[in-house]
Amino acid sequence: MTQHNTGDLQRLVVLSRDDYNRARFEFPKALTDPFTRVVAVPLRAPETEEPALLALGGALQPNSLLLRNKSGDDGYVEAAAAYELMSIAKFNAFASVCQMLSASLLRVDELRELASDGTVKGSADLKGATGKAGGMLNSDFSRRLAQRIKAEWAWEHDEPYNVGGGDPEAAAEFAAAQGISGDPVVAALIRQRRNQDNKLAYHSLELNISSEARRAIQGTLGVESIFRRLAPTFSATFDILRKQSNDVVLRVLVDFRPPAAELSRMREGHAGFPN
């Protein structure tokens, strides 16, 4: 059995035991890719003692292709649904980073769909309305994302508003665990909130929520020629993945300023507080 570093694994291929045994002789290269683990079902020892595999339960069906989703629960998702699920998971992880940095508001104003050359293929106005996607998006995947995005997040502070930077170190650790610390937008936001000499009040930014999903999909397409031959159903999965070539970018406002009610209380208690 090929040994893998679980931290490097990017995908999980599930085969029937007959197909697995056939692959060992006809396609041995499929079993030695360092970023792919091939599992035969029904499981046998020692796989039957691995909690991570057992947790997948019904997802361990023959001829399944699963991609690793580090955001969320660091589990695996069906490859055909990875673009949507991983993008949503990244945005939710980003929202948690904002909360750790003591943001008072996270608002998504617009969702844009970009081609590989940066051309805008479509857009949806999300400002002020959760899940109301416009009809100007190019793909079904982007339309579903627009419908699922929670467009406004607001947080209240238990104590009087803290104008500090929250907990940037915890936010950085969380972002790394979620696999989004390499995103320059996320890294820059954390870096800005570390600066206590000139505190960041608010930031308008563009967040590519599909970058990790697209990277995982592109890596999987790179081994398509190997795995397409293992089972007929993989062909349909790869056909779906090839269509997921656009990036999804959110235009976002992250606000660290006190909400209006808190600002009013602060002005009442401090005569010299700026208006």
Q: Do 262 and 161 meet the contact criterion of CB atoms below 8 Å apart?
A: yes
CA–CA separation, 206 and 226 (whole Å): 36
pLDDT digits (tens, 9 = 90+) for 18-52: 989 988 888 887 788 888 899 999 999 998 898 88
- Helix/strand/coil for 80: helix
Residue 184 has pLDDT above 90, yes or no: yes
- Helix/strand/coil for 46: coil
Q: What is the pLDDT of residue 129?
A: 52
Residue 137 has pLDDT above 90, yes or no: no
* Residue 182 confidence class, pLDDT cut points 50, 70, 90: very high
Reference 163, options 237, 90, 258; nearest CA is 258
